[in-house]
């Protein structure tokens, strides 16, 4: 990619929200949007309190935002994401501006049930989708697919 220092971080949930990221990671900067293929977006953690994760799915794709983050930003994200207990870090390959780049991503650890997100959390992600110009139907499908019984967010 380029010779800049820092990690390329791939966001797919609440960290798409530019205002939230500016507050949490003031030195992070957006590189641009991409599409992560071979994955789908889901919510896990029980109805009304579920949070976003991605899981491998043949033929799936998730709109993502790539960020350049500093070690300070990564520490802040580790705290927010509940690393290593709730989320683990993985490296994924994503096509960005015509080439494959490696990006760090947080993926939820196994064992949490599918469920619907709470309204506030959903709105944070929805705003992130708007900020990035992503198709909101991807987010709404993930909510529908994840909501086991009664949903906290009607979409």
Instruction: Write the pLDDT tens digit of every residue in 46-92.
Output: 888 999 999 999 999 999 999 999 999 999 999 999 999 999 999 99
User: Which of 39-48, 105-114, 141-150 is predicted least confidently?
Assistant: 141-150
Kindly report the pTM of this predicted structure: 0.92
Residues in CB range of 62: below 8 A, 6 or more apart: 12, 35, 36, 39, 40, 41, 54, 138
> Under a CB-based contact definition with an 8 Å cutoff, are residues 109 and 142 in contact?
no
Q: What angle do CA 64, 139, 112 make, to 5 degrees?
A: 90
For residue 154, what pLDDT is reported?
Answer: 58
Average model confidence (pLDDT) across the chain: 93
Enter the DSSP assignment of 62: E
Q: Which residue has the higher pLDDT, 82 or 3?
A: 82
Structure tokens at 39: 């994955």
Tell whether domain 7-146 is in CATH 3.10.490.10. Answer: yes
In this prediction, residue 35 has a pLDDT band, given cuts at 50, 70 and 90, of very high
**151 falls in which pLDDT band (50, 70, 90)?**
very low
Could you give the angle at which helices 136-146 and 119-132 cross, rounded to 10 degrees? Answer: 150
CA dist 74 and 67 (Å) reads 11
């Amino acid at each position: 990619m380029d010779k800049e220092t820092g990690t390329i971080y791939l966001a797919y949930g609440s960290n798409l929200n530019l205002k939230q990221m500016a507050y949490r990671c003031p030195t992070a900067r957006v590189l641009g949007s991409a599409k992560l293929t071979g994955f789908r977006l889901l919510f896990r953690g029980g109805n009304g309190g579920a949070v976003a994760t991605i899981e491998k799915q043949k033929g799936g794709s998730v709109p993502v935002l790539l960020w350049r983050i500093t070690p300070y930003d990564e520490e802040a994200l580790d705290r927010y994401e509940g690393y290593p207990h709730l989320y683990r870090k993985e490296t994924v390959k994503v096509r960005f501006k015509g080439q494959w780049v490696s990006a760090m991503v947080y993926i939820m650890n196994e064992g949490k049930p599918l469920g619907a997100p709470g309204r506030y959390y959903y709105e944070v992600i929805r705003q992130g989708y708007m900020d990035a110009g992503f198709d909101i139907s991807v987010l709404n499908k993930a909510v529908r697919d994840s909501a086991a019984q009664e949903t906290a967010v009607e979409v």
